[in-house]
Amino acid sequence: MPSPIRPAVRNGRGAVSNPAGRFEPTRAEAVDDGWGTIEEALPPLETTVQPEPARSIISRNKSPDISFDQSINPYRGCEHGCIYCYARPSHGYLNLSPGLDFETRLFYKADAARLLEQELSAKNYRCSPITIGANTDPYQPIEREYRVTRSIIEVLAKRRHPFSIITKSAMIERDIDLLAPLAKDNLVYTLVSVTTLDNDIKRTLEPRTASPAARLRAIRSLSSAGIPVGVMIAPVIPVLTDAELEKIIEAAAAAGARSAGYVLLRLPYELKDLFREWLDEHEPLKAKHVWSRLHDMRGGRDNDPRWGHRQRGEGQYADLLAQRFAAACMRYGLKHRERFVHNTALFVAGSAASGGESRQMSLL
C-alpha cells in the first residue's frame, strides 16, 4: 500500500498543508505512487485576491466573552498566515481550506464604505462602538493596495462614530492622521497584538506579520500621537510563549501602552489538526509537552468552547497564568481590566451626515 506523503513546508506560510474544510463531502490524501514525483519542485504558492459581494458590513454578536457587540471585518482570509488563527475554519463556508487557502485565497469587501454609510444612515440604527479586525487583521499586507480599512475609518470619522482597532501590523501607523483627531474626543481605542518577542518563533508561528520590534514601535507611535493603545497578548501558547508574558507586558508598557489583555490558545474545529501538524514540523521536541499543558487547561480536550472558559482556560496552571498576568500589569503600571469608554454622544445620525444642503432640503 502506498505510504502517505509528508506535506512540503512552504517558505513564508504558516499552515503546513491544505486540508478540506469540515463541510466538504470528500477528503484527499497525497501518497507516493512509486514514480518519483515526490521529488519534483512544487509550483510557487501565490496569493490571489477577489472582491466579495456583501449586503451588509456590520456584524453583530451576543457573546458574553467579548466587550463589543458590533464589528467590521474588511477582509476574509489573512495573508499573515498565523497558524493559531481561530478564523481559519471560517474559510470552510466558502468551500475553501482553513490551511493554505486561508492565507493565499483572500477576499476584500469592495463596497465597505458605501455599505457602512448606508447602515449608519438607517433610521433604526443605534450608535454602539464598532471593533475593526475582530476576525481577520484589518492591516494585513493587501491593505496597502486595497485600503478598505482606511475607507471604513474615513466614514466613521465623518460620522463621529466610536470604534476600536485590533491589529498585529505596524501599518496602523499610516492612519495616525485620521486616528489622532478622533482620540481627542474619545472616539477611538487601539490594541496591538504581540504574541512573542522571539523573532525565531515568530518566523514560523506568524510568518507574514510585523516583527515584534515593529509592533512595539507602532505602540510607541500611537501613544506619542495621543491615541489610547493597549497590548493584547494573544494567544498565549503553553510551553512555547507563556514564559514571555511578563517581558511582553514590560516592553509594551515602556512603549506607551496603557492597558493589557491576554487570550489562551483556542483550537476550534480544523484548527487543532493544523496546529498539531505545525508543532510536529517546527517544534517536534516540545509538541508532547504543549499538548499535555493545553489539555490540563482545557479539561482534557484540545479545545473548550464554553463561554467563560474558552478565553482563559481552567485549572491550576490557568490560575497561575492569570495571577502572573495581574502581577505583571501592576508592576509595570498597566490596567488589565480596562473597558475603554467610547464617546457615543457625538455620532452624526441619518441624513445629518450629508451636509447642510441636504438638511435644509429635508425641511422643505
pLDDT in tens, 20-61: 887 777 666 655 555 555 556 666 789 999 999 999 999 998
Name the residue among 233, 232, 224 with its Cα closest to residue 256: 224
Least confident of 65-74, 125-134, 320-329, 348-357: 348-357
Name the residue among 224, 225, 227, 299 with its Cα closest to residue 264: 299
Q: Which long-range contacts (CB under 8 A, 24 or more apart) does 294-301 make?
A: 294/238, 294/265, 294/267, 297/238, 297/264
Report the half-sphere exposure of 63 (CA within 13 A, side-chain side). 18
Strands, sheet with 105-108, edge to edge from the N-terminal-most edge strand: 48-51, 105-108, 75-76
Number of DSSP helices (H) and strands (E) in the chain, helices first: 12, 10
Whether the CA torsion 184, 132, 69, 135 is positive or negative: it is negative
Q: Determine the Cα–Cα distance for residues 84 and 4; give it in Å rounded to an integer.
A: 25
pLDDT digits (tens, 9 = 90+) for 308-338: 899 999 999 999 999 999 999 999 999 987 7
CB within 8 Å of 28: residues ≥ 6 apart: 20
DSSP three-state, residue 60? strand
What was the pLDDT predicted at 67?
79
Other CB atoms within 10 Å distance of the CB of residue 186: 16
Strands in the chain per DSSP E: 48-51, 59-60, 70-72, 75-76, 105-108, 130-132, 163-167, 188-193, 229-236, 259-264
- Provide the β-strand partners of residue 189: 164
DSSP three-state, residue 318? helix
Q: Determine the Cα–Cα distance for residues 19 and 103; give it in Å rounded to an integer.
A: 13
Alpha helix locations (H) across 121-198?
A: 143-146, 148-159, 176-183
Q: Determine the Cα–Cα distance for residues 364 and 362; give it in Å rounded to an integer.
A: 6
pLDDT digits (tens, 9 = 90+) for 117-157: 999 999 999 999 999 999 999 999 999 999 999 999 999 99
pLDDT digits (tens, 9 = 90+) for 260-313: 999 999 999 999 999 999 999 999 999 999 999 999 999 999 999 998 899 999
Q: State the distance between the two ends of the chain, measured CA to CA, in whole angstroms.
A: 82
Check pLDDT > 60 for residue 364: no
What was the pLDDT predicted at 41?
61
pLDDT digits (tens, 9 = 90+) for 86-113: 999 999 999 999 999 999 999 999 999 9
- Provide the β-strand partners of residue 335: 259
Pairing of strands 163-167, 75-76: unpaired
Higher pLDDT, 353 or 283: 283
What was the pLDDT predicted at 40?
61
Residue 348, phi then psi, degrees to nearest 5: -95, 105
Name the residue among 231, 136, 151, 148 with its Cα closest to residue 189: 231
What was the pLDDT predicted at 34?
58
**How far lies 51's CA from each of 26, 75, 103, in Å?**
27, 9, 16
- Provide the β-strand partners of residue 31: 4
Region of 36 please: left (phi>0), alpha (psi -120 to 50) or beta: left
Name the residue among 290, 89, 129 with its Cα closest to residue 205: 290
Longest dimension (CA), the chain: 82
What was the pLDDT predicted at 121?
96
Other CB atoms within 10 Å distance of the CB of residue 169: 24
- Provide the β-strand partners of residue 231: 192, 260
